[in-house]
Structure 1
Amino acid sequence: MLIFDADDTLWENNVIFERVIDEFLEWMAGPGLDRAGVREVLDGIEAANAVRLGYGSKVFLRSLRECVERLRGRAVTAGEAERIAGWAPAFDGGRVELIPGVAETLAELARRHELLLLTKGDAEEQERKVAVSGLSRHFRGVHIVAEKDVATYEELVRAYDLVPSAAWMIGNSPRSDILPARAAGLQAVFIPHDRTWVLEHAEIDPDDGKVLRLSAFGELVRYF
């Protein structure tokens, strides 16, 4: 069984958030607090909100609002709230940008193996992205969860009666895709993305022989 992450593994995702963050930092930076300082505050707010509220664009826009309030020491004005709301359409597109090699590679792998999709975030947003991607036909099951932790992978193993050592989790996030999957006994394929969200970063044991490291999605057909 091959289990795939979605955001930043099958299609571009964090780059959209980073474009908005870049504009936000330009707006908020000024005397006494540079872009790096604003980003540090925002990262802290996002980390806290991810635990309390989950993931997705709605939580992200709320984090921007809270960041403005913290930096300005007051509630946001009507104009500031309008400016933040103006970024919402960036996440409402009716298409996704597949990462190069994904469509043809999944089509080939689906002829050889059973595939699952495991993604976290806002259910409505993730369902939309799966639908418009055109990739759902390749997967035996699509699972949208609030968090990808060890318990999530153990539940997936039970649901599909998997042998953990014969299943592979494939993704770009050390924190969500690789480390918890390994802790649950699965093998893993790490395909780094240069714009992976900072909160998904973590160290992967370089001596872990059960983690296959690839540089591009299309390389999967050489191993599976």
Structure 2
Amino acid sequence: MSTHALTTIGFDADDTLWQNEQYYRLTEEHFRELLADFAEGPKISERLLEAEKRNLSHYGFGIKGFTLSMIETAIEITEGKVPTSVIAQILDTGRDLLSHPVETMPHVRETLEALSGNYLLVLITKGDLFDQERKLAQSGLGDFFDAVEIVSEKTAVTYRRVFSKVGDGPERAMMVGNSLKSDIVPAIAAGSYGVFVPHEMTWVLEHVDEPKDAPRFRKIAHLGELGSLLGALS
């Protein structure tokens, strides 16, 4: 193995290892139904997204911030007249999100099993601490990872820190994920490879252009193609 060979692979969790965004979409549909007497569905979604953007710096990513944004949106749309019964139902939907089943993506287990022992594997995810820990435990994938990092934000600084602590630095690391904004662009900026695995339901706030001109950018259709990609790089 050369001095520049990859030793460490980071994986995003939500919508890379297991389904996540689909549950948020279903919850948003229910939220729109709850407020149907006060506004049209698209308007409700627009206001909710605005609230989420405003609140990211206060609550961070995850279900708790999403739930608070739904409550805030309900108060705004109804001009403070939202029934307490609706607030209670919004809280219930938030709790339901925290208990949804974990559905792993195709090719995840066999890919991690094949890579484990040959590379240092690290899970790098953002969101609610308890929720991410719950999903990792229920997924049955925890034993494949040498380290787990649950972070408030994913930036180039984050990847430099994690890959230097867990592995041999960002230059000998790779980040795999479905979010160009969080998983790919900042990892490449840190000096790592960024492997984009598109998901049909990636959150709109995670959308940026593909860094196609970046020498360390790669794109695969699913995780089952990662082994062949690694073989081509070695």
What TM-score, normalized by structure 2, do the two folds share? 0.89
Secondary structure of 2:80's partner? coil
Give the one of 222, 229, 232 matched to 1:223: 229
Distance 1:85 1:161 in 2: 41
Give the one of 47, 60, 67 matched to 1:61: 67
Following superposition, the deviation at residue 146 of structure 1 comes to 0.9
Distance 1:210 1:48 in 2: 33
Following superposition, the deviation at residue 97 of structure 1 comes to 0.5
Deviations 1:198-218 (CA, angstroms, capped at 9, x unpaired): 111111222223111011111
Following superposition, the deviation at residue 59 of structure 1 comes to 1.3
Deviations 1:44-82 (CA, angstroms, capped at 9, x unpaired): 111111121112212111111001111111153211111
Matched, 1:157 2:152: no
Following superposition, the deviation at residue 39 of structure 1 comes to 1.2
Partner of 1:175: 181
- Return 5+ residue gaps in structure 2 as ranges: 1-7
Partner of 2:32: 25
Deviations 1:104-145 (CA, angstroms, capped at 9, x unpaired): 111111142211110111111111111111111111100111
Secondary structure of 1:185's partner? coil
1:56 and 1:122 in contact (8 A); partners too = yes
**Superposition RMSD on alpha carbons, in Å?**
1.7
1:174 and 1:203 in contact (8 A); partners too = yes
Runs of 4+ in 1 over 6 A off after TM superposition: none
Following superposition, the deviation at residue 26 of structure 1 comes to 3.2
Matched, 1:79 2:85: yes
Q: Which amino acid aligns with 1:154?
A: R
Matched, 1:136 2:166: no
Distance 2:148 2:22 in 1: 23
Partner of 1:6: 13
Number of aligned positions between the proteins: 223
2:34 and 2:86 in contact (8 A); partners too = no
1:119 and 1:145 in contact (8 A); partners too = yes
Q: Which amino acid aligns with 2:18?
A: W
Partner of 1:97: 103
Matched, 1:126 2:126: no
- Return 5+ residue gaps in structure 1 as ranges: none
Distance 1:186 1:202 in 2: 18
Partner of 1:114: 120
Distance 1:111 1:120 in 2: 25
